[in-house]
A and B are shown apart, each in its own frame.
Chain A
Amino acid sequence: MWLTPEELVAIKLSFRVALWSVLVSLPLAVAVSMVLARATFPGKTLLDAIVHLPLVLPPVVVGYVLLVLMGRQGAIGAFLHDVFGITFAFRWTGAALAAAVMGFPLMVRAIRLSLEAIDRRLEAAASTLGAPPAGVFCTVTLPLMLPGIVTGALLSFARSLGEFGATITFVSNIPGETRTLPIAIYSYTQVPGGDLQALRLSIIAVVFSLVVLYISEVLVRRANRRVMGKDA
């Protein structure tokens, strides 16, 4: 194997962080998309803006806000640590949280788009066939928004793999704990003689990104065909 143990650790960590960030934020993103696409309530525009904030804010600001709120001394962080024993500060879980927050708007946008494209008359049809509201959601709404879920999850996954600013601000640069692929690349550029390693890791990052995009394309095409009523 031509990867050094250090590089391998960074790659594995990046994948773990990205995977967890997607898994945990996906259900929440579906719920928020449902609310934004279908509910009407005062303050909806505000919620929409808050969800999209990480997209326009400097990532460093997001990282800093996370540090203030979710750090060991932060209002929420202290509570979670004391009550549930969950710690984000300077842990890989914090990196996952930062990645999840940064990827969230991408996820919500994609899911909401496919949700709004659903013909709601199909849901009405399902209810006349005896399906209660929860059943309609699970058997009609959810499968029909699958293209959006796949797109959103993969976009957010790719975004997580590349997350840098918020992560390094929130959980710093600890080898084996929070030094993900992009942070490792950054670190190599900061030491004399690390150029080659930075280049190798950059190439790896490009390859991973391409693979993720390719898989996403294939999956979305398949999901779209199914939603159009054709064989996948």
Chain B
Amino acid sequence: MLEIDVEKQLGAFRLRVQAAADGRVVALFGRSGSGKTTLANVIAGLVRPDRGRVVLDGRVLHDSERGIDVPAHRRRVGYVFQEGRLFPHLTVRNNLLYGLRRTMTADRTVDLKHVVDLLGIDHVLDRRPGDLSGGEKQRVAIGRALLTSPRILLMDEPLASLDVHRRNEVLQHIELLRDEFRIPIIYVSHVVEEVVRLADAVVLMGSGRAVAVGGVEEIMGRPDLRAAAGTFEAGAVVDAKVVGQDVQYDLATLAFDGGVLTVTNLDALIGEPVRVRIRARDVSLALDSPSRISIQNVLRGNVADITTARDGIVDVSVEVGGVTLRSRITQRAAEQLALRPGLEVYAMVKAVSLDRLGAK
């Protein structure tokens, strides 16, 4: 979907990215200052690279060698900005229609009513942007970009300016539109929870470069990328399916490749695919099958890898039926258990420690 090989010098900052990624949602993930927004602007045509190529879904948007540079207004990249950037002099309705009116009738695949219903912005249509809440503004901004029937939706930290409650509200709407419209999304973020919840593929950015490209589970699980991923707390991302519900105890059972997980009820229907994250510090290890303990999830697996100790802490990767879980334990514990690759261990996860990351 995204194929990029560009260089751009901006003052002392140098952007030099070479990456190709595929997926319904590709995340540009990295700390602030890593060049994510600059790269997004290059993709949208707002920043012209010094050299290189940008190809989106087979369409060449920029190729310095062949002298191709499609101007921003013809790229059909729906850009949702961090700060919304609604036009203050237009009503919400006219903001929404701004791009739609400039899209050729033959190219229109998204209609106003559908977007307004999906984003729940019916009640603000005749208001002006100055009167909207942060969450409403951002939903309108998403709708406005969507209504240009873009080939691709580019979202640059669309939740950054929102408080926690609004964040979740807008995130749910992004999930909805991802599932409802067949428009690929490039999602720029420095927040691991958002990336894991939404994305299929990740381009990890660090100091102006693409440090790594790959699937979400792969990138998020790699301890060697922790420096670039920054705030990310080590853990494993597991795709699972709801297979059972216990109404009496308010629990749900999830099946994944490595077995079964019990979690506190997560408001999902049986059969629904979900994604959960198991943080490394919530996983403890035992050599024998533990009995008479409160922990609801005990998974048998094999040690795959142990990181070298740092500050007395090691991360142990455990293969559980094709899925790699991570466990963060003390160096002393690892030595007391004599952990080594290949050793059979029992990974224990408290049911209450599991985060649901949204529908997949």
Contact with B along A59-73 (1 / 0, CB 8 A): 000000000000000
Q: How large is the interface on B (under 10, 10 to 19, 20 to 34, 35 or more residues)?
A: 20 to 34
A172 to B287, CA, bound (A): 108
- Check if B130 is an interface residue, CB within 8 A of chain A: yes
Residue pair A144, B88 in contact (C-beta under 8 Å): yes
A229 to B87, CA, bound (A): 8
Instruction: List the B side residues contacting A139 at CB < 8 Å.
Output: 98
Residue pair A129, B88 in contact (C-beta under 8 Å): no
In the complex formed, the residue of A with least CB distance to B101 is A130
- Check if A31 is an interface residue, CB within 8 A of chain B: no
* Minimum CB–CB distance for B139 against chain A, Å: 16
A228 to B103, CA, bound (A): 27
Instruction: List the B side residues contacting A119 at CB < 8 Å.
Output: 85
Residue pair A128, B88 in contact (C-beta under 8 Å): no
Residue pair B102, A129 in contact (C-beta under 8 Å): yes
Q: How large is the interface on A (under 10, 10 to 19, 20 to 34, 35 or more residues)?
A: 20 to 34
- Check if B77 is an interface residue, CB within 8 A of chain A: yes
Residue pair B148, A226 in contact (C-beta under 8 Å): no
Residue pair B103, A229 in contact (C-beta under 8 Å): no
- Please report which residues of chain A, range 89-142, place their CB below 8 angstroms from some CB of chain B when the two chains form the complex: 119, 121-122, 124-132, 135, 139-140
Q: Which of A128, A129, A130, A144 contacts B46 (CB 8 A)?
A: A128
In the complex formed, the residue of A with least CB distance to B46 is A124
Q: Which of A121, A130, A146, A231 contacts B73 (CB 8 A)?
A: A130
With known contacts A128-B46, A129-B99, A129-B102, A144–B130 Cβ distance under 8 A: no
Instruction: List the A side residues contacting B83 at CB < 8 Å.
Output: 121
- Check if B166 is an interface residue, CB within 8 A of chain A: no
Instruction: List the A side residues contacting B102 at CB < 8 Å.
Output: 129-131, 135
Some 30 contacts from A to B, beta carbons below 8 A apart, are A122-B85, A122-B87, A124-B72, A124-B85, A125-B81, A125-B85, A127-B72, A127-B73, A128-B45, A128-B75, A128-B77, A128-B78, A128-B79, A128-B145, A129-B99, A131-B73, A131-B102, A132-B71, A132-B73, A135-B73, A139-B98, A144-B89, A228-B130, A229-B128, A229-B129, A229-B130, A230-B130, A230-B131, A231-B128, A231-B131
